Amino acid sequence: NSSLPDVADGGPIFTEKLKNWTEKNEKRIILSQIVSMYLEMLENTDKTKGHVRRISEELFTLKNSLPDGLKKLKDLMDLAKLPMSDLKIQRKAVNELFSVLQTLVETPTSVKKKRSQLQRRCKC
């Protein structure tokens, strides 16, 4: 029952998180996780009630249209666990630094420009 007084305790759980995700693609990642959590919550509810069944079906459809946020979340967790004081990890990181920086500064328009320049130069 969402009208009980304890619902307000501690503030919102999902809408507050959404404020931190501003980019469209970022929002889609967090929304995929939120939708999955709603589906998990509704998993053991009475689906003979029409409104519950319709909500579940809509959420399932939405989930299929969103990216796999769980994989992205796992990637972030793996990065957070990296022992950055480990010399081997540091050497690997330095070895990848140029590629990472190049990816960071690449924008979709610069990628398009590169492709068109390569196509003009190529005498295939």
pTM for the whole structure: 0.63
The whole-number pLDDT of residue 49 equals 81
Over the chain (124 residues), the average pLDDT of each successive run of 10 is 70 83 85 89 83 89 83 87 92 92 78 60 60
The whole-number pLDDT of residue 102 equals 92
Q: Map the chain to HEC letters.
A: CCCCHHHHCCCCCCHHHHCCCCCHHHHHHHHHHHHHHHHHHHCCCCCCCHHHHHHHHHHHHHHHHCCCHHHHHHHHHHHHHCCCCCHHHHHHHHHHHHHHHHHHHCCHHHHHHHHHHHHHHCCC
